[in-house]
Structure 1
Amino acid sequence: MGAHFHSAHFTHVGKVRAKNEDAVLSLGPENIWVIADGMGGYEYGEIASRMVIEAIQHQIFSGSLEERVAMIKDALYRVNHHLSQEKTLSQSAVIGSTVCLLIAFQGHIACLWAGDSRCYLYRRNRLYQVSRDHSQRLNGRSVLTRAIGMGSKLNIEHCILAVQNDDTFLLTTDGLHNALTAKTIQASMSSDSPIKGSEKLKTKALQTEASDNLSAIMIKVTP
């Protein structure tokens, strides 16, 4: 299938946070899109999410989709090792980042993730959550169980899908998807262009309390 991918993205500090610890990467020619949500306060979260982005940005990809997935995992495992060591040296409670990314190759797309940043798929008028949050509810709060930098051992999940014409994918950090209903997300993803869709998402999110950073990448597939 000769699929073409069109994307649009945004990242916004939101209404409450003093700093934006989210980071996004959109590499159209390589068909790679990455979203990361840093944790750690001060500058640590910002540094962690940027390290995730740069690890993918500087990777040279070759081979099959499965081989490219393995290259991404190796790059992220190196970041995890570095951040885990940094956390020990600084005695900080957390220095880390979630990650959710897509890489497309030869009619298929792979989704990789660690943490609660999400990937959605809008296909044939239905919304699917492709990724599965690595988090659990504790005392009424959502607590991460997995992320880059949280520990010396890390398992990055991934899945591979066959791409269909008119598919729309969405990567979001938790600040965005926690602020919006699934109905609102689906309505935005049904827009006829990723630019219009991402603008709708941003506008709707900023109409809420927007207590966290807001970031998204929307990708549409055309013949």
Structure 2
Amino acid sequence: MTQIGEPLVYAAQTVVGQVRGHNEDALLCCPELALWAVADGMGGHLRGEVASALALQTLRTACAEGQDLVTAVHAANCAILAAAEGDADCRGMGTTLVAVRFSGADFEIVWVGDSRAYRVDADCIRYLSRDHSWVQSMIDAGEMSVEEARSHPQRNVIFQCLGRDHQVIEIGQARGSLGPHELLLLCSDGLTGELTDPQIQQVCASANSLDELVEQLIAQANQMGGRDNISCIVLGRASVEPVAAAQPRGFLSKLFKPLTK
């Protein structure tokens, strides 16, 4: 990958939401490894948060030891399975995961389950991940619309996660390069379950800072019900001079301007 020598900027937050009693989501923000991740745990009272925390701890350790992202995710899966074997209270716990690692502006994304990665600019939002879920399989088969999937009773049924039943996990992968006018968004389904993609894009286009963006995304998801834990990380390139603050548009157009040769 090309090293462009430019630092990344990011903001991250996780909250319990309006309904759940505790937070089973976990975040990893490790700029020294150019590594960020969101994990959404499951498996009963307090055990989901064990799975999500263990997954991210293992992911970080494996990457620090020089392993690639896919190998690190397999290591996280093995760590959760081993923990469940050693503690009856942890049996059945699992977690989804979405992670990104950067080299300059280039990135690799991996995911398992329905935590998502998006590329966002001032005009549109695009999936970088694809849910390992029953409703996504129905969408892919042309048997369900995206709108129908959002309210379907089985919308939370996923085919893949870390730590479940010694299954052979399917790890999604994507690569790309982040432009100076773009953001990368990692999030749990607590965000995407409450906000549509156009709603997420609108918030991204209008916010004036990354911190404000994260706060607004979570606030709006809570306002829409906050039925699950809500977590998100947003990343951008801090590579160019800020455009004059007098310009009337939001973060994506105001904070960055195009690179010039």
Is this a same-fold pair by TM over 0.5? yes
Asked whether 1:140 is paired with 2:153, we answer yes
Q: 1:119 to 1:222 in 2, by over 3 A?
A: same
Determine the structure 2 residue equivalent to 1:98: 96
Q: Which runs of 5+ in 2 are unaligned?
A: 139-151, 240-261
Determine the structure 2 residue equivalent to 1:65: none
**How far 1:208 sits from its partner (Å)?**
1.6
For residue 144 of structure 1, give the secondary structure of its aligned residue in structure 2: coil
Determine the structure 2 residue equivalent to 1:164: 179
Range with greater deviation from structure 2 (34-43 or 144-153): 144-153
- For the Cα contact (< 8 Å) 1:193–1:220, is it kept in 2? no
**How far 1:167 sits from its partner (Å)?**
1.4
| 2: CA distance, partners of 1:7 / 1:209 | 26
Q: Structure 1 length as normaliser, TM-score?
A: 0.88
Summarize deviations over 1:42-91 as a string: whole Å, max 9, x none: 221010000111112323547xxxxx6x5332232123123335556638
Q: Structure 2 length as normaliser, TM-score?
A: 0.76
- For the Cα contact (< 8 Å) 1:14–1:214, is it kept in 2? yes
- For the Cα contact (< 8 Å) 2:51–2:95, is it kept in 1? yes
User: Pairwise mapping of residues 58-207 of structure 1 onto structure 2 (< 5 A)?
Assistant: 58-61=61-64, 71-87=68-84, 90=88, 94-123=92-121, 125-137=123-135, 140-142=153-155, 143-152=157-166, 153-190=168-205, 191-207=207-223
Considering only CA atoms, is the larger Rg found in Structure 1 or Structure 2? 2
Of all paired residues, the percent bearing the same amino acid is 27
CA-based RMSD of the aligned residues comes to 2.2
Asked whether 1:19 is paired with 2:32, we answer no
Q: Which amino acid aligns with 1:19?
A: H
| 1: CA distance, partners of 2:131 / 2:183 | 20
Q: Which runs of 5+ in 1 are unaligned?
A: 63-67
Identify which of structures 1 and 2 has the higher relative contact order when contacts are C-alpha pairs closer than 8 Å and 6+ apart: 1
Range with greater deviation from structure 2 (79-88 or 130-139): 79-88
Greater helix share, 1 or 2?
A: 2
- For the Cα contact (< 8 Å) 2:47–2:90, is it kept in 1? no
For residue 51 of structure 2, give the secondary structure of its aligned residue in structure 1: helix
- For the Cα contact (< 8 Å) 1:61–1:71, is it kept in 2? no
What is the aligned residue count? 217
For residue 161 of structure 1, give the secondary structure of its aligned residue in structure 2: strand
Greater strand share, 1 or 2?
A: 1
- For the Cα contact (< 8 Å) 2:37–2:97, is it kept in 1? yes
Determine the structure 2 residue equivalent to 1:217: 233
- For the Cα contact (< 8 Å) 2:93–2:164, is it kept in 1? yes
| 2: CA distance, partners of 1:60 / 1:92 | 25
